Amino acid sequence: MGDKIHQLLESTPEVINVGLELFARAVRQQGGQVHEIEWKPPLVEPDQRALALFNDPTIAAANSEAVTRMMRAQPVVVDVARARDVIPGMTDRTFLHAGPPIDWDHASGPLRGALIGAMLFEGFASTPEEAMRKLESGFIELAPNHEHSAVGPMAGVISPSMPVYITVNANGTNRAYTNFNEGIGKVMRMGAYAPEVIDRLRWISEVLAPLIGQALRRSGGIDLRNIIAQALQMGDECHNRNKAATSLFYREIAPYLVECDAPASDIAAVLRFINSNDHFFVNLAMVAAKVMADAAHGIPGSSLVTTLSRNGTEFGIRVSGLGDHWFTAPANVPRGLFFPGFGPEDANPDIGDSTITETAGFGGFALAGAPAIVQFIGGTPADAVRATLEMYEITVAEHEIFRIPALDFRGTPVGIDLRAVIRTGILPFIDTGIAHREPGIGQVGAGVVRPPARCFTDAYQAFQQQYLAHHALTTDARREE
């Protein structure tokens, strides 16, 4: 015995470290060898009476049903129309926006900028100042896209006369809407509203969108899930890299555009506009994800996260089995790469509905398939692989259709389980565009971010409470039998 202690003190220590890297570092600094076991404490201490929910087969079954509906939803973009004419519950004075509900007073710079832009576009104001006064006075009703079957990147503002894509679920009954991509830099969705921004929106509304609508009707609809699946094998993750998906959409639609009843110069201009913007497809990737996520929403007992979204001030999530309630917390600020002339101090907190892509099992969750994206968002190709591998820890399935060649065609991690986020302490990984914090400027970079933990801890408290209530009722019912 004494010998063994002696031996232990004489030899170089070999240590197993569970959790905090701090302890491992101390041993390593003293020349010891450390085997690290990654472990984090759960995000909240679960109620002991509700511990069973982590292994409850009825929750697993509900999640399986939800994620299956998510994977099998088949979004097909079929047409283009005026927002007011097709989006349910929209009035002539409704402006939709990204993220959870918010009012003008709490809106961040880029959201304010985009709302001003929409006022000018709609002709509700002729100067930014007039637009601001009217917005302050409650002239416009603000409502989240997500509550109107819609999504929009960054500020995500959709005003009544803007054109929107109509996307149906060919394997279900739901549909979803989104606006048109304007390019990068000084664009309305990033909070810019200069005259050239409004002029571009007018051209989109008058020339590009009607032509794309005509072409889509001729085509009989374009299968977006199919395009996303191919693009994920061509270096896109279809959130911040849409170069392949934009190309494939362009390939599909160009012959129908050529056959449209329109001047060749307009058709060529539409093709050049798409060709000049590798992000053109992101709105379509998002509306596809929205169709998928909505198909998975509202399954009783399911802990699947069906919305991740941000309005530039708050991050909000919704859970399949918890109805339409938003669980919100102040949004984090992304870190990443900035365009020349801008830096971290210019970055607005996380903004946009585009996290619907991560919700549906691609975007940041498919980063392993998009190594070239690190030139845009920072990090290394190895980081990109790690991000995807980590997401398998908090998801309930590997996607049947979205597969990553570099991971031996493994399906992407899909279906975020609220319980797994709580148990592991791992928050969803998001890659995202970064808007300037002031209105009127636009995009300043791109990077990565995680949601605030509180969205998940609050959602978990609600889920746990519902579980306990349901369990109590069941027990009562059993007692009464």
**List of residues contacting a copy of itself (CB under 8 A):** 230, 233-236, 243-244, 247-248, 250-252, 254-259, 264-265, 267-269, 271-272, 274-275, 371-372, 374, 380-382, 405-406, 408-409
Cα torsion through 450, 452, 456, 459, rounded to 10? -140
Using the minimum distance from each CB to a copy of itself, give the nearer residue, 326 or 392. 392
107/112 Cα distance (integer angstroms): 6
Q: At what angle do helices 243-258 and 282-295 cross, to 10 degrees?
A: 100
Beta strands (DSSP E) in 392-477 are 395-404, 410-416, 430-435, 443-449
- In angstroms, give the least distance from the CB of 261 to a copy of itself: 10
Using the minimum distance from each CB to a copy of itself, give the nearer residue, 203 or 250. 250
Using the minimum distance from each CB to a copy of itself, give the nearer residue, 106 or 272. 272
Instruction: Return the closest-CA partner of residue 423 out of 464, 386, 388.
Output: 464
Using the minimum distance from each CB to a copy of itself, give the nearer residue, 383 or 438. 383
- In angstroms, give the least distance from the CB of 356 to a copy of itself: 24
- In angstroms, give the least distance from the CB of 248 to a copy of itself: 6
Using the minimum distance from each CB to a copy of itself, give the nearer residue, 274 or 426. 274
Using the minimum distance from each CB to a copy of itself, give the nearer residue, 228 or 295. 228
Q: How many CA atoms lie within 13 A of 354 on its CB side?
A: 33
- In angstroms, give the least distance from the CB of 366 to a copy of itself: 13
Residue 251, burial from CB neighbour count under 10 angstroms (0-12, 13-18, 19+): exposed
Using the minimum distance from each CB to a copy of itself, give the nearer residue, 56 or 400. 400
- In angstroms, give the least distance from the CB of 11 to a copy of itself: 22
- In angstroms, give the least distance from the CB of 413 to a copy of itself: 18
- In angstroms, give the least distance from the CB of 262 to a copy of itself: 10
Using the minimum distance from each CB to a copy of itself, give the nearer residue, 369 or 440. 369
Beta-bridged to residue 75, according to DSSP, are 169
226/311 Cα distance (integer angstroms): 29
The conformation of residue 170, written as its DSSP 8-state character, comes to T
Please name the residue that has the structure tokens 């395009």: 227
301/313 Cα distance (integer angstroms): 30
- In angstroms, give the least distance from the CB of 183 to a copy of itself: 15
- List Cβ neighbours of 168 (8 Å cut-off, separation of 6 or more): 75, 76, 78, 174, 175, 221, 291
- In angstroms, give the least distance from the CB of 259 to a copy of itself: 5
Angle (CA) 403 407 410, round 5° = 40
Beta-bridged to residue 300, according to DSSP, are none
Using the minimum distance from each CB to a copy of itself, give the nearer residue, 118 or 228. 228
295/415 Cα distance (integer angstroms): 12
